[in-house]
Chains A and B, each alone.
Chain A
C-alpha cells in the first residue's frame, strides 16, 4: 500500500493552520515514526490521513485514490486506526471486541462466522493475551486494552496500522514491550505508522522517522540519522544528548552533569 501526502494544509479555523504544506510518502510494510512535541499536530495529521478531518489544500491518496473517495469499508481493509486510548462504554467480552475487526470482511447484514471468531482468537494468542478472551473489556488494564485494540486491528487484516501515540498511556515496561511488539509486526509484514513522544522508541526500532514541527515535516530519514543532539534540541526546546551505550543508541534529556539548570530537564517530564 502506498500513502502519499502531498502539500497538505489543515486548520481547525481559518485563523491558524495546524499543518501547512506538509508532504511525505509511506509504503507498507515499513515502519514510520512521526516525532513531534506537544500541540504540533501529530494527532491532527493522523486524523487527516484517515479522512476524519477535511484538508483545505493538497491531497492525501492511498494507492492513488484520495482518502475522501474511499468507502469506509474499503478503507478499513487497507488501513486500521488505533486511537490513543479507548474508553469503553459497555462490558463487551474481549473476544467480541476483537471479532468486530472482521466487520469490513463480512456482509453488510452478516454476523461473524465461527471462522471469524477463531481468527480473532488467533490474533489474541499471537499477541500473548489469549487468556483475556472471555473477560469483560471494561475490566482489563489500559495496557491490555491497547493490546486488544491491536488484536482487533490485526483481525481487520489491513496493510498498515496507524497508531496515535501508542505508548502515551503505558508504563515503562509496557512501553518497551510495545516497541518489541512493533518489531514482531514488522516480521509479519504489517505496516506501522505511528506518532510518538519518545525519540528512544524510534531509535530502538531503527525505523524511518519523520520530525513534525511548525506544521510541516522538517526532517526525514532513518532514526539514527534524524535524531541528533541538535534536531532534538530544536524540536523540544531542551538540551538533549544522543549517546551510544554498547549496542544501543539512547536519547538523554537535560544536561549530562549535575548542578546545571534542572528546570530545562524537568520540562521533558510533562508527557
Chain B
C-alpha cells in the first residue's frame, strides 16, 4: 500500500503545480511590458478593484493593468485553455494525433465570417458574432455531409477538410475583392491571430457560453474516455456512439468557435498542448482535461508575452505558435511520445 501512498503524493504534487503555475504566469504576464509595474503592485491593484477600493497606485499604472493588460492576459488564458481542451477532445474522439480543434473546419468558417464582417464594416462586435456564426455553420455543414455515411470518424475528418477548403477559398475571394489599403490588412491580421485588441466587452460576450461548453466537456469526460476506444468498443460498453460523439464534438467545436472569435486563428496550440498533457498524466480525460487547461493557459500566456515584448512592434500570435509548435511536435515524434 506504500506504493499507492507514493502515487497519491505525486498526484497531489502535480495537482498543486498545475494550479500554481498558471497563477504565477498570469501575474508575471500582467507585470510584464514596457511600462514597469512590479508584481506586488499588480496584486494590490487587482485586490483593490476586486473589493471595490481605489488602488493607491497612480491612475496611469492602474489603467495599464486594468484596462490594457488584464483583458489581454485574461483572453490569453481563456483562449489557451479552450483550444487545448478542444484539441485533446478532438484527438481522443478521432483517435488521431494530428487532429486539432480546427479539424472540422471551424477556423476556416470563422475566418470567412470575420473577413465578411470586415468587408461589410460591421465593427468589432460584428466581426466577433460573424466569426462564431460561420465557424459553427462550417461544423454543421461538415456534420451534414458526413451524416450520409456510416463510417463516421473518417468521413467526418474528410468532410471537415472539404468544408475547410471551401471556406478558405471564400476567404481568398474576399481578400481579393477587399479594399487593399483599409480592409485587406485587417483581414490578414485577423487571420494570423492576435490578442492585442482584447477588451472586457468582447470577453464578456463569450464568457457565459464558454463556461457552459467547458463545463459540458468536463462533465462528459468519462464518456469521452470510452469514445476514444473506438466505435465498436464504445457501443459494446453501452454508448450511443453517434449521439455522444456529436455531443462531445459539438461542445468542443462551440468552444473553439468562441475563442477564435476573440483571438483570430491561432494554430498548433490545440495540437501541441494535448500531447504535452498526455505525456504528463496519460490519456485519461479525467486528468487530461484539467492538465490541458493548466498547460494551455501557461503556454499561451508565454507565447503572448513573447509576441508583445520580443520586438518593438507586435508579432501576430499565430506566427509564434507555429514557429514554436512545429519543432515541439517533431520532438514528440522523435521521442515516440506521440503515443499510437
Contact = CB atoms under 8 A, between A and B. Distances in A.
Interface in A126-184: 138, 152-153, 156
A21 interface: no
A81 B236 contact: yes
Contacts of A86: 229-230, 233
Nearest to A91: B339
Interface stretch (B38-46, B156-164, B219-227): B219-227
A52 B232 contact: yes
Interface string B226-263: 10111011011111110000000000000000000000
Interface string A77-109: 100111100111111110011001101101011
B308 interface: no
Interface stretch (A67-75, A194-202, A247-255): A67-75
A50 interface: yes
B336 to A, nearest CB: 11
Interface string A11-27: 00000000000000000
Nearest to B229: A100
Contacts of B238: 72-73, 75-77, 103-104, 156
B222 A111 contact: yes
Interface residues of A, number: 36
Contact of A76 (B92, B222, B236): B236
Given A76-B237, A80-B236, A97 B229 contact: yes
B180 interface: no
Nearest to A80: B236
B226 A103 contact: yes
Given A81-B232, A89-B228, A92-B284, A73 B222 contact: no
Interface string B69-87: 0000000000000000000
A72 B241 contact: yes
Interface string A43-80: 00000001010000000000000000001110111001
A198 B303 CA distance: 60
A73 B228 contact: no
A108 B239 CA distance: 10
A133 B118 CA distance: 56
B95 A89 contact: yes
Given A73-B240, A75-B238, A92-B282, A103 B222 contact: yes
A93 B284 CA distance: 9
Contacts of B223: 103, 108-109
B283 interface: yes
A156 B225 CA distance: 16
Given A77-B238, A103-B238, A104-B237, A91 B232 contact: no
A92 B237 CA distance: 16
**Ranked 8 nearest A-B pairs via Cβ:** A104-B238, A76-B238, A90-B283, A89-B95, A81-B236, A73-B238, A72-B240, A109-B219
25 contacts: A50-B235, A72-B235, A72-B238, A72-B240, A72-B241, A73-B240, A75-B238, A80-B236, A81-B232, A86-B230, A89-B340, A90-B339, A91-B282, A92-B225, A92-B229, A92-B282, A100-B225, A100-B226, A100-B229, A104-B237, A104-B238, A106-B222, A109-B223, A112-B222, A156-B237
Given A103-B239, A108-B223, 15 more contacts: A73-B240, A77-B238, A81-B235, A83-B232, A88-B229, A89-B229, A90-B95, A90-B278, A90-B340, A92-B225, A92-B229, A101-B237, A103-B237, A109-B222, A111-B222
Interface of A: 50, 52, 71-73, 75-77, 80-83, 86-93, 96-97, 100-101, 103-104, 106, 108-112, 138, 152-153, 156
